[in-house]
Amino acid sequence: MSTLTQSHLVSAEVFARMPQREDGTLLELVEGVIITMPPPSFAHGVCCNRIGRKVGNFVEDHSLGFVTNNDSGVIVARNPDTVRSPDVAFWSRE
């Protein structure tokens, strides 16, 4: 079994340039390693939509920033890089 070294890890920039998978499989980058995400359930999608809609409406009504949901890649760590896709995320104008 081989061990990953820093030179074999994928950066967030390389990960961002990768094409979408033809089969629709979702990928995330965890500490430089690409992982496959299982598809979320229907109930999970409904829940994320409800939360995103409510938070998004509040944020928009008060000009607080932006809300994203499902599959918006966010760099959460560097060296090695981690890019996650939060279910719902708030980005403040500040």
- Structure-token pair, residue 33: 């390693």
What three-state secondary structure class fits 13? helix
Q: How far is CA 85 from CA 5, 49, 61, 71, 92, in A?
A: 24, 15, 25, 5, 18
Residue 85, pLDDT score: 93
Which residues in the chain come in under a pLDDT of 50?
1-2
Residue 1, pLDDT score: 46
Residue 5, pLDDT score: 52
**Ramachandran angles phi, psi of 59, nearest 5°:** -60, -45
Give yes or no for a contact between 58 and 86, defined as CB atoms under 8 angstroms apart.
no
Residue 57, pLDDT score: 98
Residue 70, pLDDT score: 78
Ranges of each domain in the chain: 6-92
Q: Which CATH architecture has domain 6-92?
A: Alpha-Beta Complex (3.90)
Residue 24, pLDDT score: 81
Q: Which residue has the tokens 């279910």?
A: 87
